[in-house]
A = this chain, B = another copy of it.
Amino acid sequence: MQRKWGAMEALFRPRAVAVIGASDNPSKLGSHVMRSLIEGGYPGAIYPVNPGKEEISGIKTYPSISQIQGLVDLAVIVLPAEQVPQILQECGEKGIKAMILITAGFKEIEDRKGEQLQEEILRLAERYGIKIIGPNTFGVVNLHYPLNASFTPEFSRVKKGKISLLSQSGGMSHLMAFLSMKENLGLSKIIGLGNRCNVDFWDMLEYLNEDPETQVITMYLEGVDKPRRLIEVAQRMNQKKPILAYKVGISSTSDRASQFHTGSLAGNYEIYLGAFRQAGIFSVQSSEELLDTAKAFSLSLLPKGNRVAVLSGQAGPGMAACDVCEREGLSIPPFSSETQKKINALLPPLAIRTNPVDMGPAWYDSNAIQGIVEAVLEDQGIDAILLCIMFASANRSAVGILADSLTQIERRKPILCCISAPGGIWDEEIQRLEASGAPNFQTPERAAKALANLAHYKMKFHRE
């Protein structure tokens, strides 16, 4: 990867980072960038650059880039816009290949000067072969290296995982990272594209498609200048990895806002959706759905078809899940007679033992739950399992036993769960379940919707 992706490697795995505009004044973004790198455990060399300082955060500080003796792969810029062309030249002379331009005030502002400035830095970047993330970005995070080259040190708290977030909006990146923390969802890279001077969605798609640390690519988009280019690249990627897109700008208001925000018209929403479908990009409708679907893709197998078994420790959550399944075109068929016999032997007659199964009277018989799940996994007429269990004081052992069992069984069908308990109960058990490949969701409806998305993806883009 090193040769082809020189600039991208310099961006995501830099051997040394210069922070141009570093500071130790907490009211300056430069101080937050320094904290991000240091507190995030960045393993390479950090070179703060600030002509007025000898030391920042205990690290030797340089008056200018040219004074740095060692090699530098990546520069993070937090200086006013008008200083950027000069800095860019210095970075070019130094041989820096990647730049994160946090500074705002370019194409997104109403003033024509902003656009001119962005054109100027684009010319300079091309001359020196520098790839620029931004301008007008919070930065870039690679949780695997680790590198937190952003103005938000708290990004380093996100769990390391396989989902990369590619976003036009810093606000949405922050939102999704915070939601990921709350739901213990692992991320790989968090990328704020900002104004996309010379690194755009398609460039990142190509890189992430080859990135061994990324298994699922998620995008938040407002609008792109060359949608055709995005579509072509995605088509060429040919579903090697799932690409999920949350496109805003349905409304005329948000469309107008987009132009101001990152300099692009959001454009006709329906046209985007159609193009995404052609390109094998899977569309979702909310930030929550984006993360839920990414979680499902990152942890679970794809179902071979749309036939779902709904197994619920209590009837109500199972019914809520059934409603979403049917609304989404999934089927909840009867079991094979062999499966049905096994379930009948495990549950007393007063339970509902057909699909959906109300394991109710079994909810303090963890072995019965385990037996039912195993029987249904073997049923040839079932493609996936939705499993709902709500904690009650008497069923405390159920999820641990289930996690043990699922960790041992090799399986070819997805199991998506809504297992819910007060905080601190079942946290460890749910982590083990997820590690076994059975993702957990906050509500039965969200679990069902995530399963439906896996099935729709499989049917739309993975026909064999």
Contacts and interface: CB of A to CB of B under 8 A. Distances in A.
Interface stretch (A207-215, A245-253, A370-378): A245-253
Q: How many copies does the complex hold?
A: 2
Given A250-B327, A251-B325, A358-B261, A393 B316 contact: no
Interface in A148-191: 151-154, 157, 167-172, 174-175, 178-179, 181-182
A435 interface: no
Given A153-B393, A393-B152, A316 B178 contact: no
Interface stretch (A53-61, A107-115, A400-408): A107-115
Interface stretch (A11-19, A27-35, A41-49, A227-235): A27-35
Interface in A263-309: 266, 286-288
A358 B312 CA distance: 45
B391 A154 contact: yes
Contacts of A63: none
A350 interface: yes
Contact of A261 (B258, B319, B446): B319
A242 interface: no
Contacts of A443: 175, 179, 286-288
Contacts of A168: 316
Contacts of A423: 181-182
B445 A392 contact: no
A362 interface: no
A356 interface: yes
B393 A35 contact: yes
A349 interface: yes
Nearest to A314: B171
Contact of A104 (B27, B350, B394): B350
A172 B317 contact: yes
Contacts of A250: 323, 326-327
Interface residues of A, number: 91
A356 B257 contact: yes
Interface in A425-445: 425, 442-445
A251 B422 contact: no
A66 interface: no
Contact of A445 (B288, B364, B421): B288
A105 B350 contact: yes
A184 to B, nearest CB: 11
A371 to B, nearest CB: 19
Interface in A190-243: 220, 222
A323 B248 CA distance: 7
Interface string A336-358: 00000000000001101001101
A222 B391 CA distance: 21
A118 interface: no
A320 interface: yes
A254 interface: yes
A261 B316 contact: yes
A315 interface: yes
Given A319-B261, A421-B178, A314 B358 contact: no
A286 to B, nearest CB: 4
A420 interface: yes
A350 B249 contact: no
B169 A316 contact: yes
Interface of A: 26-27, 29, 32, 35-36, 104-105, 108-111, 114, 138, 151-154, 157, 167-172, 174-175, 178-179, 181-182, 220, 222, 248-254, 257-258, 260-262, 266, 286-288, 310, 312-320, 322-323, 325-327, 332, 349-350, 352, 355-356, 358, 360-361, 364, 388, 390-394, 418, 420-423, 425, 442-446
25 contacts: A108-B350, A109-B350, A153-B393, A154-B391, A154-B393, A169-B319, A170-B314, A170-B390, A171-B314, A171-B390, A172-B314, A174-B390, A175-B418, A181-B423, A248-B320, A248-B322, A250-B326, A254-B320, A254-B356, A258-B319, A261-B352, A266-B319, A286-B443, A287-B444, A288-B443
